[in-house]
Amino acid sequence: MPVVETDAQLVARCRAGDDDAWRELVDRFSRYVYAIAVQAFRLSEADAEDVFQEVFARAYQNLSKLRNDAAIRPWLAQLTRRLCLDTIRAGAREQLGEIPESSGVDDTIARLDESLFVHEALATLSSNCREILDRFFARDESYQLIGDALDLPAGTIASRISRCLVKLRTELEGRNPVAAESGG
Amino acid sequence: MRNYNEETLAVLLRTLPAAPEAWVKAAQEIPLARRGLDDIVARAEADRAFREALVMDAEAALEGAGYEHDPALAEAVREHLTP
């Protein structure tokens, strides 16, 4: 089973100038930042891409200002939220652009936090389980496509998914649920 | 403690689809960009001899052009210049 670095350890390595750590950090939070932009704020793909790049550029620039390395997730959420609002306001000045209800955004981000918590647990499973569950649920691939990609009979994919979900649930039962932390 | 049954897990796994690969790669290259990757690629596009030197031996060409020894930057330059 892979040992996954904590967020704090990863941030510390990034701050020390480790390019591999930065790649890992982007990989770890890319789905989260993307989902906040397109699900919570319903930005267009073009606007979401601008926000996405700006979030990571600012995060890279300001990583040293983060007071608590373990709070990288809420810090990124806050940064993404602010940049999404700026984008919507800029759009509103030009024409449409509607700022979503704050409570709706909070609910969506809470759901994304929980989803990220599940993805973090997923990262500790075997590579086989990670691949199967990610391909089926997050990438929406068919049994056939997964079977072809992983060189497994398509008929065994459903039972493998089921077994991997049991392992994921067991992993989650040993973890603390998402805590609201304060960033930088 | 939340009950993570199969249905709940399925919903939560579906909630975070992968971001487009190109976006992720661009964000991962931010440290390299800060070290001049974009400028090097732009110069290689404008200067054929520099481009050929980079394709042949990126590390040597970069050091010859005054950049500090940086294998990660050289590797990224190679990736950008080779189809």
Looking at residue A177, its pLDDT comes to 63
Answer yes or no: do B13 and A139 touch at CB < 8 A: no
Q: How far apart are CA B46 and CA A168, in angstroms?
A: 52
- Cα–Cα–Cα angle for A114, A70, A39, rounded to 5 degrees: 35
Tell the burial category of A16 from Cβ atoms under 10 Å away from its Cβ (0-12, 13-18, 19+): exposed
Structural domain includes residue B3: no
Answer yes or no: do B13 and A137 touch at CB < 8 A: yes
Structure tokens at A6: 């904590």
Q: Who among B15, B17, B31 is closest to A111 (CB)?
A: B15
| B49-76: average pLDDT | 90
Banded model confidence at residue B53, pLDDT cuts 50, 70, 90: very high
Rounded to a whole number of angstroms, the distance from the CA of A34 to the nearest CA of chain B is: 6
What share of chain A in percent tops pLDDT 70?
90
Banded model confidence at residue A182, pLDDT cuts 50, 70, 90: very low
Task: Convert B39-71 into a string of H (helix), E (strand) and C (coil).
Answer: HHHHHHHHCHHHHHHHHHCHHHHHHHCCCCCCH
Structural domain includes residue B13: no
- Number of structural domains found in chain B: 1
Q: Which residue has the higher pLDDT, A102 or A45?
A: A45
| A138-151: average pLDDT | 91
CATH fold of the domain at A7-173: Rna Polymerase Sigma Factor; Chain: A (1.10.1740)
Rounded to a whole number of angstroms, the distance from the CA of A38 to the nearest CA of chain B is: 10
Helices A45-62 and A19-35: angle between axes, nearest 10 degrees: 140
Is residue A181 predicted with pLDDT exceeding 70? no
Is residue B38 predicted with pLDDT exceeding 90? no
Answer yes or no: do A133 and B31 touch at CB < 8 A: no
Q: How far apart are CA A142 and CA A137, in angstroms?
A: 10
| Count of CB pairs separated by less than 8 Å, A with B | 94
* Residues of chain B neighbouring A118 (CB-CB closer than 8 A): 4, 9, 12-13
Structural domain includes residue B51: yes
Looking at residue A103, its pLDDT comes to 77
Chain A CB within 8 Å of residue B16 CB? yes
Cβ atoms A183, A129 nearer than 8 A: no
Answer yes or no: do A112 and B16 touch at CB < 8 A: yes
Structural domain includes residue B70: yes
Is residue A183 predicted with pLDDT exceeding 80? no
Rounded to a whole number of angstroms, the distance from the CA of B82 to the nearest CA of chain A is: 21
Q: How far apart are CA B16 and CA A33, in angstroms?
A: 10
| A46-71: average pLDDT | 93
Structural domain includes residue B37: yes
| B58-79: average pLDDT | 89
Cβ atoms A16, A8 nearer than 8 A: no
| Domain membership of residue B55 as a residue range | 19-81
